[in-house]
Copies of this chain bind each other. A is one copy, B any other.
Amino acid sequence: MDYIKQPIEIENRSMEIIAPHLQGLGLDEAATKVFSRIIHASGDVGYAPLIHIHPRAIAAAQKALQAGCDIYTDVEMVRTGINKRKLAQFGGSVYCQVAEPGIAEAAKAADITRSMAAMRAFGHRMDGQIIAIGNAPTALFEVLRLVGEENLCPACIIGIPVGFVGAADSKKALAEQQTIPYITVEGTKGGSPIAVAAVNAIMYLLDNSRS
Show the binding face of A for B, using Cβ within 8 Å: 1, 3-7, 10, 13-14, 17-18, 40-44, 46, 76-77, 79-81, 111-114, 116, 137-138, 141, 144-145, 162-167, 169-170, 173, 187-193, 196
Contact = CB atoms under 8 A, between A and B. Distances in A.
B163 A43 contact: yes
B10 A165 contact: yes
B166 A10 contact: yes
24 contacts: A1-B144, A3-B169, A3-B170, A4-B165, A5-B112, A5-B116, A6-B111, A6-B112, A7-B113, A10-B166, A14-B164, A17-B165, A40-B163, A40-B164, A41-B191, A42-B191, A43-B162, A43-B167, A43-B187, A43-B191, A81-B192, A191-B191, A191-B193, A193-B193
Nearest to A40: B163
Contacts of A164: 13-14, 17-18, 40, 43
A162 to B, nearest CB: 4
A18 B188 CA distance: 12
A164 B116 CA distance: 34
A74 to B, nearest CB: 13
Contact of A5 (B138, B189, B193): B138
Contact of A1 (B42, B145, B192): B145
A13 B43 contact: no
A79 B190 CA distance: 20
Given A43-B162, A113-B7, A193-B192, A141 B14 contact: no
Contacts of A40: 163-164
A3 B162 CA distance: 15
A17 B167 CA distance: 13
B43 A189 contact: yes
CB-based closest 3 A-B pairs:
A43-B188, A43-B162, A80-B80
With a 10 A CB-CB cut-off, give which of A41, A42, A164 has the most chain B CB atoms. A164
